[in-house]
Structure 1
Amino acid sequence: MAQKDNHPRSNKGFISTWISRIMTMIVWLLLALLMSIIIEWVGMNTTWRDEGINHSRNMVKTELSYLNKDFQKSLLVQRPVEYAEDIAAKMHNAMYVKTGIMGAITKIFQDTGAGKVTKTIAEHVLAAIYVTQVFAIRLAILTLALPAFFIFAVVGSVEGLVQRDIRKWSVGREHASLYHHAKRWIPICFIAPWVVYLAFPVSIHPNAVILPFALLFGIGIFMVTYLFKKYI
């Protein structure tokens, strides 16, 4: 009887853990989007005041040009540009078209009698819409970059296992503290590019963010496999 009672609990714990992780990821993505919008609004009134709404509009074009130039092929999808544009269109439709926000903004810009304050608010909302499109494009690029993390992980683990065997047969020393430090840095190196790249306030080539973190991720995998116990 005890075994029958424990089995459903273990399954429930596994499922609830993964649901919790997925919800946490969604919350972090929403926070990154909110941070991007706030940074854009602050920049519109300070750093790139002269550009105004053109700053976010140009970011959309630049991000798509990066994708069109350097991500023409992918292991996950056949047409990366269309994949990113589809994600951006779906997010735009769900957040701004179906809610009526886009229609209201369009009416304000078409209304010649709208006040200055009203148009200023409309410009900030439109900037948020462009930032959301940039966010969606970058989200698509990050998903397309997942094989890079996998490749670095495979190379790091293979090299680490080789070095572990060498350490094992040459009576090398254990480094438990270094192993635990490396183990903690692995999820950070994987999550950090999602937060940094998605919330970055200006256009930046994705390779400048993804490749360094993918390399650090691979090094972390290497360190963990290399420093793992000599004897199991």
Structure 2
Amino acid sequence: MTADPLVLTPELERATERLLATVDSLPLDEPSLCAGWTRGHVVTHLARNADAYVNLLTWARTGTRTPAYASREAREADIEAGAPRPASVQLADLAASATRLSTAIDAMPAEAWSTVVTMPSGTEVPAARLVWSRLCEVELHHVDLDAGYGPADWPEAFPPRLLHDPATPRAATLEAPDGTVLLTVPGAATVRGPVHALAAWLTGRGDGAELTGALPDLEAWK
């Protein structure tokens, strides 16, 4: 599955539009599916994450090292400070940060996409991976808002990309004739189910209820 930023940018724009539509008029002081976070925490995280990716794209474009966040502590403090803001303020912030990211993507010369930058996790990746990484942030955290958007609503191409992403727990996969996917986990029996359900389970956004087979302990397997 491609991770070409030029191919994925339109998909990111559509995913962002869906996210903004969900956040519009959504009560943000209610719990999200992220432990200890309200919806406001999730939305603020997504806004600051967009700005972090602008920093990384600036690094790739200019050659000047620009960390995603000033520090882990600053990242966490920004999320905590932003989470209680009025919903209308958070929506505007999320939209503005998405626009800044879109502008930064458009400004990237072709040769800059090969520049290696450091993700917040410390992993070094070519800048070309950033659009895919942001698309994952948007689609996964959209589910975390617990507002009616679930893994079954992901675009058709997204779950297979997740299954083939090196950052996703690895397993052998094979598409079955009926459209389900067979997934063989090292040391475990074969698991079978819809591709979106497998991707959701592997990323912690599903309990595996739609899957058949002996599910291993995901944390232990990772």
Greater C-alpha Rg: 1
Q: More helix per residue: 1 or 2?
A: 1
The one of the two structures with greater contact order (alpha-carbon pairs below 8 A, sep at least 6) is: 1
TM normalised by structure 2 equals 0.31
Structure number with the higher strand fraction is 2
TM-score, normalisation: structure 1: 0.30
